[in-house]
Amino acid sequence: MGNDTRRGMVLGLIGIICFSLTLPATSIAVPYFGETIVGLGRTVIAAIVVGTIFIIKKQSIPNKRQFISLLIVAIGAVLAFPLLTTFAMKTLPVSHGAIELALLPLATAGFAMWRGGERPSKRYWIASIMGAVTVLAYAVYLGVGQLQKGDIALIAAVVILGLSYAEGGKLSKELGSWQVIAWAILIGAPFFIIPVSFSISVHMLQAPIEAWISLFYLGVVSQFLAYVAWYGGMSLGGIARVGQIQYLQPFIMIAFSVLFLGESITWLSIGLAIIVVMCVIIGKNAPVVKG
């Protein structure tokens, strides 16, 4: 394994660890700041960081075609995913969300095939259905016979972010790895300033230090720096090799839910996480047919 590959693997692991802290940080911040501040305010925070970097580096403006792709990335990674996960974390434990978000690599792979003009094979669809059924059965079981609104939000988040990841991965070949999420942040942030401003309250000043740390973690790390590490790792070590690290994410997220939130983890949760990850591995490695 060469130096670039090793560096890529390390950066990829750092990115996944950072992403794995997103749901725990959201769960901590939401009770004190509310859905709008946590869901949209993180982008405003990230935009300040990104804007400063762009001014220093004097980045060129994307063209019209690239801008349309950036809108897709912004809708998924900057708007829908933060809002949907913030809503879900009001009622669901992080360990629950970790299992549902484990389907994200599979959704990303499916959209990447579609955007690349390829048709997924039967094996991909079988693995996808098995993984989805496992997640839905688990959600219904924990919901005492019914699917909760938080589950629906997380499943929608997986689908929308999968499209956003696939679009961003394709566009990163033109704009560069971290520039894609950076431009998406700058595109989305101006639309969020007004709702975020109206949601600010003096009562938020009484929030404990862990809530403030969580909020700024979401803005600076989850929304931006984690993407820098993740895309940078894939560019150095290769998308296929570094992408395998995603399989660790649900287990790291479950571990963080125990460490920071004191959640209790059952063998059922661990077993179902393993099943879902196996479905993802089978589905992602399935052959494709050119359309």
Residue 207 has pLDDT above 80, yes or no: yes
The token duo for 192 is 């969020």
Q: What's the gap between Cα 161 and its chain centre?
A: 7
Mean pLDDT of 116-128: 76
Q: What is the CA radius of gyration of the chain?
A: 18
Which phi and psi angles does 119 have, rounded to 5°? -105, 120
Alpha carbon distance 42, 222 (integer Å) = 9
- The pLDDT value recorded for residue 226 is 92
| Confidence class for position 84, pLDDT limits 50, 70, 90 | very high
Q: Where are the domains of the chain?
A: 3-290
Q: Which residues contact 111 (CB under 8 A, 6 or more apart)?
A: 162, 163, 165, 166, 167
Give the ranges where the chain is alpha helix by DSSP (H): 3-20, 22-57, 64-73, 81-88, 94-101, 104-115, 122-142, 149-175, 177-199, 209-216, 226-237, 239-243, 249-261, 267-284
Using pLDDT thresholds of 50, 70 and 90, give the confidence band for residue 185.
very high
pLDDT of 30 reads: 94
Q: What does each C-alpha distance from 182 to 18, 59, 221, 234 come to in angstroms?
A: 17, 11, 12, 17
Rounded to an integer, the average pLDDT of 164-181 is 82
CA atoms within 13 A on the CB side of 18: 22
pLDDT tens digit sequence for 239-284: 656 777 877 888 898 889 989 988 888 888 888 888 888 887 787 6
DSSP state of 62: P
Residue 183 contacts residue 54 (beta carbons within 8 Å): no
276: left (phi over 0), alpha (psi -120 to 50) or beta: alpha
User: What 3-state DSSP class applies to 255?
Assistant: helix
Three-class secondary structure assignment of 84-143: HHHHHCCCCCHHHHHHHHCCHHHHHHHHHHHHCCEEECHHHHHHHHHHHHHHHHHHHHHC
